[in-house]
Structure 1
Amino acid sequence: MPELKDLLERASRLLFIGVGNVLKRDDGVGVVISKQIIERPAIKSLTVEVSIENYIGKINSLEPHEIVIVDCMELGRSPGTYRLVALDDVEDITFNTHNISLGRLVDFFLYPTYVLGIQPESVEFGEYLSHPVQDATRRIVQVINQ
């Protein structure tokens, strides 16, 4: 599995997709990150919030060489920890705030797809990211935008 930096170094057409619900604290981390990505020829960003299934046609029409879905994910680690995993390796579970499980998306995308999963501290109702997830957001955005 490549590291995020490795993926960025080899990127020729990489699409980041921000997924999540900004009204459920850390569940909104994917949306927050995708909105902070500075687009350039090799790197694009699309914010879909909780309805990624409504964007499958648009995502495929952009013809990215690789896709990174950014979302909170239960990793069983400390809040703010993040991992890049192949979409094929994501369990077929549906999060409470998602209409379709991330694992099922592998059948719809035409390009290699990864999930940048960030361990949440809280997905209770609220508009702000927890401090550990805010810190992870800053680190991730810095890596992507450098």
Structure 2
Amino acid sequence: MELNEFLNNIKGKVIIAGIGNPLRGDDAVGLYIVKELKNKINAVLIDCEDRLERFIEEIIQHKPDTIIFIDALHMHHEPGCVVFLSEENLQHPEISTHQTNLKMCIEYIKARIKTKIFIIGIQPENTNFGNSMSERVLNVAKILKDILIQEIGK
């Protein structure tokens, strides 16, 4: 999915959920973006860390029209590469989340409420324990943050 198509599908009440481990370098990219969006965007922001399943009921209770998960995805691309996916695209064999329960969580949410779910996936460069985010992924995160602020706004 192209960026414009992704942005055109963001409608109504929006939840943006960052997923990742803050201690594993680029794996924290989703958390970073959610933190940077606080008080700058008209959306419910949730920092799930690597425990998305703990936030499913909170997400469902908000009854969002659109849910956007932001996560580091291993896609065999260059570090910092960004993909915009619908939940159906997660079945692609080249896409692997560090957290296999993302697909199950999406299926559960879809069974409970009518909502559109999208994933912003960023190819990590380094997810080793104790590392900071790489410069490439950090730069991409800043650009994505700016795009989301511009498109969703306050």
The question of a shared fold, defined as TM-score above 0.5 by the shorter chain, is answered with yes
Aligned match of 1:125: 129
Summarize the alignment of residues 93-112 of structure 1 with structure 2, pairs less than 5 Å apart.
95=98, 98=99, 100-109=100-109, 110=113, 111-112=115-116
Q: Map Cα deviations across residues 84-105 of structure 1 (whole Å, 9 max, x no partner).
A: 101222139562xx3x521222
When the two structures are aligned, how many residues end up with a matched partner?
143
Mean Cα deviation higher: 1-10 or 15-24: 1-10
C-alpha contact 2:20 2:31 (8 A) present in aligned 1 = yes
Structure 2 gaps of 5+ residues are none
Higher normalized helix content (fraction of residues) = 2
Aligned match of 1:44: 44
Q: Which SS does the other structure have where 1:126 is aligned?
A: coil
Q: Which SS does the other structure have where 1:15 is aligned?
A: strand
> 2:38 and 2:149 mapped to 1: Cα distance?
6
Aligned match of 1:56: 56
Identity %, equivalent residues: 23
Q: Map Cα deviations across residues 92-139 of structure 1 (whole Å, 9 max, x no partner).
A: 9562xx3x5212222211221111000000111124100110110110
> 1:102 and 1:68 mapped to 2: Cα distance?
12
Structure 1 gaps of 5+ residues are none
Report the alpha carbon displacement of residue 2 of structure 1 after superposing the two structures with TM: 5.8
Report the alpha carbon displacement of residue 56 of structure 1 after superposing the two structures with TM: 0.6
Partner amino acid, structure 2, of 1:33: I
> 1:53 and 1:4 mapped to 2: Cα distance?
30
Inter-CA distance 60–35: structure 2 relative to 1 (3 Å threshold)? same
CA RMSD of aligned residues (A): 2.3
* 1:87 matched to 2:87: yes
> 2:4 and 2:60 mapped to 1: Cα distance?
21
Q: Which SS does the other structure have where 1:72 is aligned?
A: strand
> 1:49 and 1:121 mapped to 2: Cα distance?
18
Aligned match of 2:24: 24
TM-score by length of 1: 0.86
C-alpha contact 2:10 2:66 (8 A) present in aligned 1 = no
> 1:6 and 1:88 mapped to 2: Cα distance?
14
